[in-house]
Amino acid sequence: MKFRWNSFFIGANGCALAVFLYLLCGFSHAASAQRLSTNVIPSHYALQFAPDLKAATFTGSETIDIAIKQPTSAITLNAIEIEFETVEIHGRDGQTQAGSVSLDPEKQQATLTFAKTIPAGDATLQIHFTGILNNELRGFYLSKTARRNYAVTQFEATDARRAFPCFDEPAFKATYDVALTIDAGDTAISNSAIAADTPGPGPAKHTVVFATTPKMSTYLLAFVVGDFECSSGEADGVALRVCATPDKVALTPYALSVAEFALPYYDNYFGIHFPLKKLDFIGIPDFEAGAMENFGAITFRETDLLLDPKTASFQTERTVTLDIVHEMAHQWFGDLVTMQWWDNVWLNEGFATWMENKCTAAMHPEWNIPQFVAADEQKILDIDAQPTTRAIRAEANTPEEIDQMFDGIAYGKAGHVLLMLENYLGEETFRQGVHAYLAAHQYGNATAEDFWNAQTQVSGKPVDRIMASLVAQTGEPILDFSAPAAGRVSVAQQRFFLSPSIVPDPTQKWTLPVCLKTGANGMDCQVLTPSSPSLAVPDANLFFANAGGNGYYRSAYAPAQYAALLAHVETGLAPEERISLMGDQWAKVRANKAKVGDYLDLASALSPDPNADVLVNSAENVDDIANDIAATRQERDALAAWIRRTYAPQFAKLGPPAPDDSINTRQLRARLLLLLTIHGNDADLETEARRIADQYLSDPASVDPTLGQAAVNIAARYGDAALFDRLEKIYETSNQPELQNFALRQMVAFTNPGFLDRALEYAISPRVRNQDSAFQFAIAMKIPENRDATWAFTKAHWDQVRTELTPEMGEYLVEGAGNFCSAAARDDVKNFYAAHPVPAADAYLRHAIEHIDGCIELRRLQEPNLKKWLAAQPQ
């Protein structure tokens, strides 16, 4: 699955928001265990559905082939929101008997009870049932456009049970025969290819029968019904299709080209050919996540699949590419080999995250993906330095706990840990370990140990000890390097917290590879253990302890070594290493181990850097300084003057946009424009941004879209009714998901009086899809000028806001409150949500409160330093 926030861009705070929404949660002890018994094991489902898209209901029937270990008269499986009509079992003894059903909605289970004991051995369950096509974007649900209804599925993690009674746990793998009776003229898509398509039963209907699927988990089953149209291609003998509603089929060829690159890339990398004959990619009008890796039938939010390459911004192109190859990587990591249980969901998500970057970097070397990855690592390290972080592998039993496992730790931290491991073992050794792991467990399930034991065996290196240390332990280390002497450097390690008031447990230590930089591009990797006092230093020239920026740790240097790094930052370090150094320095400011001025000095030294990701990374921290540390008008003005002095020359050097500008140049220009206007208060550039915005909205193909969208974001900040109406019209009438989405996001960025309430009322009106509503609040809370009013609106319209939220969207709303930076606001947030609890969002509330406390502490400690540093700057 892919996080849903991947699809939005809101300009200056885009990435910061994405980071903030890397949701983290503490875990309470598991509620009553909800695991099914292993006395009954399913092996095959034959499923028939007849959805009624107008009435939003469906009828279904299934036969499940099961094996019974011990004789029993009761079978428990998962079901919720299902009406059972008849239940029968046919046992090994040849007897068929009807069963009665008792439901346990709390556990989302149904127990089928039979009068006579069913003997051990094979048996067949036959169940007839009915259900509703719900509006909750999970299970078997209804998606709507202005023209018609669609029936689609989303089962991960625990929602297959809303479509049919099943053994809904990842280790109960089975094969599936799916048949759908649908309206004549409609099509259906499912995991495997169509085996038969026959008229009836009944008038104006036809029945589509799909080939038997491979053995797989319930959460990977999918079927969609409607008038989807597709563009088709082929790679490595696999039929590829990208499908959308008919009005959007023109936006499918880009995704097809990505899939045609990635399929042979993966076949080759994994050494295991894609196991199905076809692979479909389907854009769904209403979709909660970003995308879902159903085996052979990947579903997407439209913004994450469909684009027009002529008008797409670079961010959209990168997001769509990463999401497609992420889901394709899951066909092996997750679909072919599945985690035994959700506690190891990182085996799915960490791998898909690591691989999406690797595959995209191979497809687009000019996108500088390693720098993008290094910047992402800084954000994850910051999240993991909070007290509410969790270990990569953590307990999860209830559906709410399982849903909360899909967070920044399972995706980001696990992905970076795998990158560190690959970097240490070498690409080819690591690839062989991956192949050995997949080959040993294909069509089955695996645990973390299965993975690292395979890598240990292939490499002959202590991967098991390293991975156990990183996967089971909570948090991250900071490595304190002394001045190197006589060819060695001593290292002290302890857990790192951003908050200076937390004292780490002195006994917590890690075993992990540390790669020291040697020469221009070399590295020397050594394994640091809890008892290692020192490492050998192979290169005495410039000491840098995170070669390539791939190590999952923070580094601290002795003063002379840090001064040398600062002096040679543009010549001695690679761009990824500069990003890593900046991240370490900013983390130290937040932990009160350095002064904010030290960070700004580093940002000054890096301001001429020609790499967009280096600039983007430091610009985000400068945004944070302006928003969170600068407390007075005078400080903000002085900081704005510094921003103009520091970054205007770089912006001027880029010159006006040219058709042959590189992606890097386009990104740099857009990001500098945002920084120089929003926090640099450059009035001339603001006027220029308004002009570019107008041109972009009039003719999106006439302006570099990356620049055009940044300009609209600036124009919206100071926008008027004409601009607001224009954006509303784009959202309601454009057939380009990217533009629609972009226009909607900008509506909450208006800071002139009156517009925010209008935008929020619009967000909770039926004119905005529920999949988008909560984001509007989350984005508005990021904008300092709009924060108080957004919170006041939320409280005043609570009942209406609540009804617009889909089951998992409440967390975005709750966590948005974490942008406040005062004790009064914190208490208000606490009290309000205590009185108005949001289901399954208590952990997000704790994280929000922690975020507010962190901001208060940061401002208290660093604001005097900022004031002093600003006063010492030349005017």
Report the residue count for the chain.
875
Q: What is the 3-state secondary structure (H, E, C) of 226-279?
A: ECCEEEEEEECCEEEEEEECHHHHHHCHHHHHHHHHHHHHHHHHHCCCCCCCEE
Handedness of CA 546, 549, 555, 561 (dihedral sign): positive
- Minimum distance from CB of 683 to Zn ion (Å)? 44
Q: How far apart are CA 162 and CA 134, in angstroms?
A: 9
- 13-52 positions binding Zn ion, by CB under 5 A: none
Side chain identity, residue 286: D
Q: How far apart are CA 215 and CA 441, in angstroms?
A: 12
Span near Zn ion by CB under 5 A; candidates 346-354, 417-425, 523-531, 807-815: 346-354
Cα–Cα separations (whole angstroms), residue 833 to 21, 299, 786? 19, 34, 20
Q: How far apart are CA 356 and CA 849, in angstroms?
A: 33
- Minimum distance from CB of 443 to Zn ion (Å)? 20
Span near Zn ion by CB under 5 A; candidates 344-352, 417-425, 659-667, 681-689: 344-352
328 or 467: CB nearest Zn ion: 328
Q: How many CA atoms lie within 13 A of 309 on its CB side?
A: 8
Helix (H) or strand (E) holding 98: strand 96-104
Q: How many residues bind Zn ion (CB under 5 A)?
A: 3
Pseudo-torsion of CA 678, 683, 685, 690, nearest 10°?
80
| 699 Cβ contact partners less than 8 Å away, ≥ 6 residues apart | none
Q: In what order do the strands lie in the sheet with 149-154?
A: 139-144, 149-154, 223-226, 187-190
| 39 Cβ contact partners less than 8 Å away, ≥ 6 residues apart | 68, 69, 70, 72
1 binding Zn ion? (CB under 5 A): yes
Q: How far apart are CA 434 and CA 452, in angstroms?
A: 9
89 binding Zn ion? (CB under 5 A): no
410 binding Zn ion? (CB under 5 A): no
5 or 651: CB nearest Zn ion: 5
353 or 432: CB nearest Zn ion: 353
Q: Binding Zn ion by CB under 5 A: which of 127, 305, 352, 582? A: 352
Q: Is 327 a catalytic residue?
A: yes
Handedness of CA 765, 766, 772, 773 (dihedral sign): positive
DSSP notation for 837-868? --TT-HHHHHHHHHHHHHHHHHHHHHHHHHHH
Residue among 522, 608, 526, 605 at smallest CA distance from 569:
605
Handedness of CA 594, 595, 598, 599 (dihedral sign): positive
305 or 528: CB nearest Zn ion: 305
349 or 577: CB nearest Zn ion: 349
- Minimum distance from CB of 474 to Zn ion (Å)? 22
- Minimum distance from CB of 703 to Zn ion (Å)? 33
79 or 282: CB nearest Zn ion: 282
- Minimum distance from CB of 511 to Zn ion (Å)? 28
In Å, how far from its chain's centre is CA 433?
A: 26
Span near Zn ion by CB under 5 A; candidates 343-351, 400-408, 577-585, 675-683: 343-351
154 or 313: CB nearest Zn ion: 154
Pairing of strands 223-226, 187-190: antiparallel
Taking the CA atoms of the chain, what radius of gyration do you get in angstroms?
Answer: 27
DSSP assigned state of 343:
G
Residue recorded with tokens 């008269």:
73
Span near Zn ion by CB under 5 A; candidates 302-310, 352-360, 437-445, 630-638: 352-360
Helix (H/G/I), strand (E/B), else coil: 94: coil
- Minimum distance from CB of 2 to Zn ion (Å)? 5
293 or 476: CB nearest Zn ion: 293
- Minimum distance from CB of 243 to Zn ion (Å)? 20
Q: How far apart are CA 707 and CA 670, in angstroms?
A: 5
405 binding Zn ion? (CB under 5 A): no
537 binding Zn ion? (CB under 5 A): no
Span near Zn ion by CB under 5 A; candidates 110-118, 153-161, 345-353, 578-586: 345-353
296 or 816: CB nearest Zn ion: 296
Contact call for residues 849 and 818 (beta carbons, < 8 A): yes
- Minimum distance from CB of 346 to Zn ion (Å)? 11
1 or 64: CB nearest Zn ion: 1
Contact call for residues 198 and 207 (beta carbons, < 8 A): yes
Residue among 189, 528, 533, 587 at smallest CA distance from 386:
587
Span near Zn ion by CB under 5 A; candidates 347-355, 498-506, 661-669, 689-697: 347-355
Locate 165 and state its tokens.
Answer: 């009674």
341 or 718: CB nearest Zn ion: 341
- 592-631 positions binding Zn ion, by CB under 5 A: none
- Minimum distance from CB of 299 to Zn ion (Å)? 12
- 414-473 positions binding Zn ion, by CB under 5 A: none
Side chain identity, residue 689: A
Q: What is the 3-state secondary structure (H, E, C) of 127-178?
A: EEEEEECECCCCEEEEEECCCCEEEEEECCCCCHHHCCCECCCCCCCEEEEE
279 binding Zn ion? (CB under 5 A): no
- Minimum distance from CB of 406 to Zn ion (Å)? 8
- Minimum distance from CB of 216 to Zn ion (Å)? 16
Opening angle at CA 329, ends 323 and 331, nearest 5: 115
- 496-515 positions binding Zn ion, by CB under 5 A: none
Cα–Cα separations (whole angstroms), residue 187 to 50, 118, 410, 487? 13, 40, 36, 69
304 or 620: CB nearest Zn ion: 304
266 or 793: CB nearest Zn ion: 266
Residue recorded with tokens 């120089």:
676
The residue from 327, 349, 356, 738 that is catalytic is 327
- Minimum distance from CB of 323 to Zn ion (Å)? 9
- 546-575 positions binding Zn ion, by CB under 5 A: none
Span near Zn ion by CB under 5 A; candidates 349-357, 627-635, 686-694, 791-799: 349-357
Q: List residues binding Zn ion (CB under 5 A).
A: 1, 349, 352
Show which residues are catalytic.
327
